[in-house]
Homo-oligomer: A and B are copies of this chain.
Amino acid sequence: MKIVIIGGVAGGASAAARARRLSDQAQIVVLERGDHPSFANCGMPYYVGGEIQSRDKLLVAPIEMLRQRHRLDIRTRSVAIELQRGEKRVRVRDLESGNEYTESYDKLILATGASPVRPPIEGIDGPRVLKLRDLADADAMREHAIGGATRAVVVGAGFIGIEVAENLVRRGIETTIIELDNQLLSPWDREMIAPLESHVRDQGVQVHLSEAAQRFIDSPDGIEIGLQSGASLHADFAVVCVGVRPESGLASQAGLACGPRGGIVVNDHMQTDDPDIYAVGDVTQVSDFVTKMPAQIPLAGPANRQGRIAADHIFDRPSTYRGTQGTAVVGVFGKVAAMTGQSEKALLRDGSRYEKIYIHPTDHAGYYPGAEGMTLKLLFDPDDGAILGAQCVGGKGVEKRIDIIAMAIQADMTVYDLEESELCYAPQFGHAKDPINMAGFVAAGVLRGDQPILHVDSLVDWLHDDSRESPFLLDVRSESEFAAGHVPDATNIPIEQLRERLGQLPRDRPIAAYCKVGQRGYLATRVLLQHGFDVVNLSGGYTLWCRYQHGNA
């Protein structure tokens, strides 16, 4: 058996190692375009910023180890330039010598990844416009960062853009972010990311949303970035990271089916429509685990598992890929954003039915020092309570909660299961009622009708709708909380006084109760429902109301 793998990072490296374990006799050729297979691409921004000091650290599996330990025929600086499927061979160019040759295969694995999108912007190929895909890019960016640069512009505020910005700031560089969307980190919902946007600005970063770079004008002492708005920025260098595109040219030229967003179409064994050719990692189109629809989700974990599955299938193992659910985390200047499954915007885009709740817990018991806040948003099916997705933003413990919900999604669990989850508790680690339980209680309470809720976005629409009488806004927080800020036109009756002051509430008009986070609002809703009022609780409370105000500012 001769296996040729095109691309030696993540999916390709996993496929190679797994194939070797399954067959010590197989001939395994790995063609890698760069100098290093299996390098730590997710670590590159931190190498630029100096958090990872040694470049060697990024070479997670040195070539010599792969050659000796796994007996892989690794050819660096080698590019596959043509698939000759009929002859089952690949045409290869050796970038070092310029020579070309053909290599035959019994099975071929395409692991070519995704390349940074380079929009057709004037001047984008200039020497001061950087990208971050491979180690050479990281070296170049690091050189700029430690070479006396004082100002940088990052175009694109996705994962890599945010990580690059954080690391440039770590180097003391005055950094500006330009993002086409009206929020940072587009995979998350906007109201969830709003507090991070303030946090990023608090670090001294300029953030321009709904803005685009239109030209890069190079000069000996810097670069001018012309913006869509007409303004222009000056910097020592710019970094463009506006997303990635599957590097599937080789496959499509060879007639392999690709999806609308460029990913190679594969079955659940990672096999393309040519049974001798597999594709793994960012170059493939995957099935979304939640919606079962085709999707393009570049992530390292799935790439690694896919590589393993392709190798399994080559050696007649029944492994199958279950689809990608989009579990992701990103560090944002000491804060954390994590998510899994569908976002609300994706559900809206697909016209899916969903319900949502928000809670604002701390990572561990408030009475133990060092507790940090987070906001957790849970999206679920309003009919059966199936969990569709979750997002969490805050400090410590954020990715833990998303990992737990990621497992729940994998297991087709419902919000009712989250109520019953039994998780680790000691005061420095969590809560006797963990945020996961709380999210389950609130969501299940909504579905059972115990807690009718109103969403901030619906309330905003309602308040602007002249055809309907606005709800009576009941703020059940303390008088001092109310005095410090409240929803316009709200009436303050602290929860402790509510039962004595029922006479002050309207019986002919819906009431929207709220508190800071939703808990006292829930109790108020329970009390008022039992006294015959038409009442809902504002989900996420005044905290979330403020987020939306921010988002609309």
Contact = CB atoms under 8 A, between A and B. Distances in A.
A301 B301 CA distance: 32
Contact of A424 (B21, B329, B421, B430): B329
B369 A433 contact: no
Given A51-B369, A424-B327, A69 B429 contact: no
A427 B43 contact: yes
Interface in A333-379: 336, 338, 340, 365-369
B496 A69 contact: yes
Contacts of A336: 429
A137 interface: no
A419 B322 CA distance: 11
A118 interface: no
A422 interface: yes
Given A403-B400, A432-B304, A433-B304, A523 B21 contact: yes
B410 A417 contact: yes
A489 interface: no
Contacts of A420: 305, 322, 410
Given A42-B427, A411-B408, A433 B301 contact: yes
Contacts of A417: 410-411
A228 to B, nearest CB: 31
Q: State how many copies of this chain the complex holds.
A: 2
A437 interface: yes
Contacts of A496: 65, 68-69
B301 A423 contact: yes
Given A51-B369, A400-B400, A432-B301, A329 B422 contact: no
Interface stretch (A52-60, A192-200, A542-550): A52-60
Nearest to A441: B308
Nearest to A400: B400
A21 B526 contact: yes
B429 A399 contact: yes
A43 B367 contact: yes
Given A403-B404, A429-B329, A422 B530 contact: no
Nearest to A328: B424
Interface in A1-58: 10, 20-25, 40, 42-43, 46, 51-52, 57-58
Q: Top 10 closest A-B pairs, CB basis?
A: A411-B411, A329-B424, A300-B432, A68-B496, A57-B367, A407-B407, A399-B424, A400-B400, A24-B530, A21-B526
13 contacts: A24-B531, A42-B425, A46-B427, A60-B367, A69-B495, A69-B523, A300-B432, A305-B422, A327-B423, A328-B424, A403-B403, A404-B407, A410-B417
